[in-house]
Amino acid sequence: MGLTNRRQSNLSGRLNRLAYWQIALALILVSVVIAAFGEAGREALKYDRLAILDGEYWRLITGHFAHLSNSHLLLNLAGLVLSWLLVGRNYSSSEWLVVLLLSIVAISSGFWFLEENLLWYVGLSGVLHGLMIAGAIQGLKSLPAESSVICLLVVGKLVYEQFVGPLPGSESVSGGAVVVDAHLYGAVGGAVAAGIFWHRARASTAI
């Protein structure tokens, strides 16, 4: 009986770890598959304002999973893994999906309505800022000190980018110009998602 329970516990632990990485693994898979199609995949799926005006609305979503180069892809995937290690346990997979969608909506809306001169864009970095800030805000409940540091670092980076520009070396590593406003819009979307979950949790507690 003890052996059976131990095996069941180990299996449950593995399943929990797999569930914890569900969204991150899905993002990695989608990004890698698009990258496998090379330039053709990037051109077909990137955020392209003129193509969107012609009705190719999927680009509002797929542009965030296409990348400029393999180095750009690896940089963003490394950032994704780091983000998940830091804050990935702070939401369920379904909640992370909401954070992801709101971050994408915020970035694409910001581009569309506020960045009319931005003709094209690729990359996951804006979404990563949304995921990181949402996870850090939620983490204030259970790990206030560590989560406060993460929030301050992300906000500090956003302020630096808005007033100074991209972090030194980021453009050379990614192989192209960094659209820092994507990071700001993504963080706004993530913060909105975190606020929704925070309010919902408080309302449930009050009831």
The 3-state secondary structure of 166-178 reads CCCCHHHHHCCCC
Domain positions in the chain are 2-206
CATH among 1.20.1540.10, 1.10.357.140, 3.40.50.720, 2.60.40.1180 for 2-206: 1.20.1540.10
Q: Provide the pLDDT for residue 201.
A: 79
Say what percent of the chain tops pLDDT 70: 89
CA atoms of 80 and 29, how far apart (whole Å) = 12
pTM over 0.75: yes
How confident is the model over 107-160, as pLDDT tens digits?
Answer: 999 999 999 999 999 999 999 999 999 999 999 999 999 999 999 999 999 999
DSSP assignment of the chain = -HHHHHHHHHHHHHHHHHHHTHHHHHHHHHHHHHHHTHHHHHHHHSEEHHHHHTT-TTHHHHTTT--SSHHHHHHHHHHHHHHHHHHGGGS-HHHHHHHHHHHHHHHHHHHHHH-TT--EE--SHHHHHHHHHHHHHHHTTT-HHHHHHHHHHHHHHHHHHHHT-SPTTHHHHHTS---HHHHHHHHHHHHHHHHHHHHHHHHHHH-
Q: Provide the pLDDT for residue 156.
A: 98
